[in-house]
Amino acid sequence: MSPSEAKKSENKKTPNLRALAAKILFQVVDKGRSLADELPDAQLKLTNPKDKGLLQEICYGVLRYLPQLEYQSKEFISKPLTGKQRVFHFLILVGIYQLRYTRIPDHAAISETVSACESLKNRHMKGLTNAILRNIQRNGSDDLEQLFEHCADAIKYNHPGWLLKKLQLAYPDDWINIVSANMQRPPMWLRVNQQKISVADYLELLAQAGIEVAHQDSHSQALCLDQPRDVSTLPGFQQGLVSVQDGAAQHAAVFLNAQSSDSVLDACAAPGGKTCHIAERTPGIAKLLALDVEEHRLQRVHENLQRLQLNAQRICADAGDPNSWWDGQAFDRILLDAPCSGTGVIRKHPDIKWLRRASDIEQLVSLQGRILAAIWSTLKPGGKMIYATCSILPEENRQQIERFVAQNQDAEWLPLGDGHQRDWQILPGQDSKDGFYYAKLGKKA
């Protein structure tokens, strides 16, 4: 085989990552698939780590700026692309994103995006794709803020209108800061496994590896890195010295404060970060049960426990149906990280903005209430429960707890601790953390 033939053969084996991005975005936006499900499968088709990273950057970026990208594309697309051509709509958005929101050289962004048409098996779309991207390149305004100044809020702030209205109502003084934080790339937080190494000693390992820490949380001991990085570069990651977990989520085990004699339930436990943190903080705990309704997600709990060399019982079942899993032995402490809208973690999961609907919130509130009532029956008198969500919507959080306490005479609202007298609503970006909510309930003896 000649060198030129070998090169052609190699090119055939390497997928065009812009084409992969367009397919992923089509599945997420039009078909309602989760980016967390679609992206990893596509990344397996790429061998170069930089290509995997660029694919992620493009997919995340298009989903962050989707309304503005749609707005810019409409000026140059006379008729909507539908049917088999629909994926090319997202390919064009991929091209616009590269031109307007990244430092990728224009010629590379345009040529690679146009080349993706062949990978998507439609060479006839090359002309249209090229023409639109060339027009964007020539005619696009350098001042994006001015370009969208008079647009509807949904376009101006890159959030669905229903969500903006909820945020404006709940946080009249903070909603702009919230949507701004949602548009940022998330920092990388670490949780040190203090069964294996002290925080001080792990900080020394990071320093030796040339990895800088931006700051350390004084209550949970969580470490925020100055720059995200591949976990393979973290000292002792495979040996279980450290895990990746947001600084907000690390307060769950702290507030739960399980003791070694306790029987503890982590309801809705997957992927297991909080289960592992409870086990790390409480060596020799009497009983730790991780419960989740999805088998494939419960497997993640197993994998995390195994890497960290920790133990917990695992059951796949519906937390809202104790008859299907509970042995009748009441728990001393329960962590309920309830299913929620995820509106506090949009910066990590920008697809949430487009997968969620206003009608979902009422259904989620109902589901949370059902699980909360069912799990409450498994808590001992005198026992304590931490209720948590990664939502920032009051109806899923404080209003949910207010209603529960009003309806259950044996429930009392307890101080969280660490200076929080009642509950704690962390907003996205606050102290560089995800949006999160915590409340502590006690069961009267």
Looking at the DSSP assignment, which residues form a beta bridge with residue 417? 420
Tell me: pLDDT of 385 over 90. yes
* pLDDT at res. 269: 96
Crossing angle of the two packed helices 125-139 and 106-119, in degrees rounded to 10: 160
Tell me: pLDDT of 250 over 90. yes
Specify the CATH number for 251-443; select among 3.40.50.150, 3.40.720.10, 2.60.120.200, 3.30.450.40. Answer: 3.40.50.150
Residues 213, 206 contacting (CB under 8 angstroms)? yes
Query: pLDDT of 25-42, one tens digit each?
Result: 999 999 999 999 999 999
Tell me: pLDDT of 339 over 60. yes
Crossing angle of the two packed helices 17-25 and 106-119, in degrees rounded to 10: 70
- Tell the CATH topology of 10-152: N-utilizing Substance Protein B Homolog; Chain A (1.10.940)
**Catalytic residue selected from 224, 316, 340, 390:** 390
Average pLDDT rounded to a whole number, residues 215-223: 92
Higher pLDDT: 139 or 53? It is 53
User: Is 417 known as a binding-site position?
Assistant: no
* pLDDT at res. 233: 95
Tell me: pLDDT of 6 over 60. no
d(CA 253, CA 382): 19
E strands in 282-327: 287-292, 313-316
Domain boundaries defined on the chain: 10-152, 189-244, 251-443
- Domain 189-244: homologous superfamily in CATH: Sun protein; domain 3 (3.30.70.1170)
Average pLDDT rounded to a whole number, residues 7-19: 71
Structure tokens at 397: 């959080």
* pLDDT at res. 138: 87
390 is catalytic: yes
Render 13-67 in DSSP notation, one character per residue: HS--HHHHHHHHHIIIIIT---HHHHHHHHHTT---HHHHHHHHHHHHHHHHSHH
* pLDDT at res. 418: 79
User: Is 318 known as a binding-site position?
Assistant: yes
Q: How far is CA 24 from CA 56, 88, 94, 238, in A?
A: 10, 12, 11, 30
Average pLDDT rounded to a whole number, residues 347-357: 97
Long-range contacts of 151-158 (CB under 8 A, 24+ apart): 151/71, 154/67, 155/67, 155/68, 155/71, 158/64, 158/65, 158/66, 158/67, 158/68, 158/183, 158/353
* pLDDT at res. 12: 55
User: Is 274 known as a binding-site position?
Assistant: yes
User: Is 292 known as a binding-site position?
Assistant: yes
Tell me: pLDDT of 2 over 80. no
Query: pLDDT of 190-204, one tens digit each?
Result: 999 999 999 999 999
Average pLDDT rounded to a whole number, residues 153-180: 97
Render 52-77 in DSSP notation, one character per residue: HHHHHHHHHHHHHSHHHHHHHHHTT-
Tell me: pLDDT of 3 over 80. no
Structure tokens at 126: 């090359």
Query: pLDDT of 41-94, one tens digit each?
Result: 999 999 999 999 999 999 999 999 999 999 999 988 878 899 999 999 999 999
* pLDDT at res. 325: 97
User: Is 271 known as a binding-site position?
Assistant: yes
Tell me: pLDDT of 234 over 80. yes
Query: pLDDT of 79-101, one tens digit each?
Result: 889 999 999 999 999 999 999 99
How many Cα atoms occupy the beta-carbon half-sphere of 311 within 13 Å? 5
User: Is 268 known as a binding-site position?
Assistant: yes
- The CA-based angle 114-117-120, given to 5 degrees, is 150
Higher pLDDT: 417 or 181? It is 181
> φ and ψ at 352, to 5 degrees?
-55, -35
Least confident of 131-145, 317-331, 394-408: 131-145
Average pLDDT over the chain, rounded to whole?
94
User: Is 41 known as a binding-site position?
Assistant: no
Query: pLDDT of 283-309, one tens digit each?
Result: 999 999 999 999 999 999 999 999 999
Q: Sorting pLDDT into bands at 50, 70 and 90, what band is 140?
A: low
d(CA 226, CA 210): 11
Residues near 145 by Cβ (< 8 Å), separated by ≥ 6? Answer: none
User: Is 269 known as a binding-site position?
Assistant: yes
* pLDDT at res. 77: 85
Cis peptide bond prior to 15, omega within 30° of 0: no
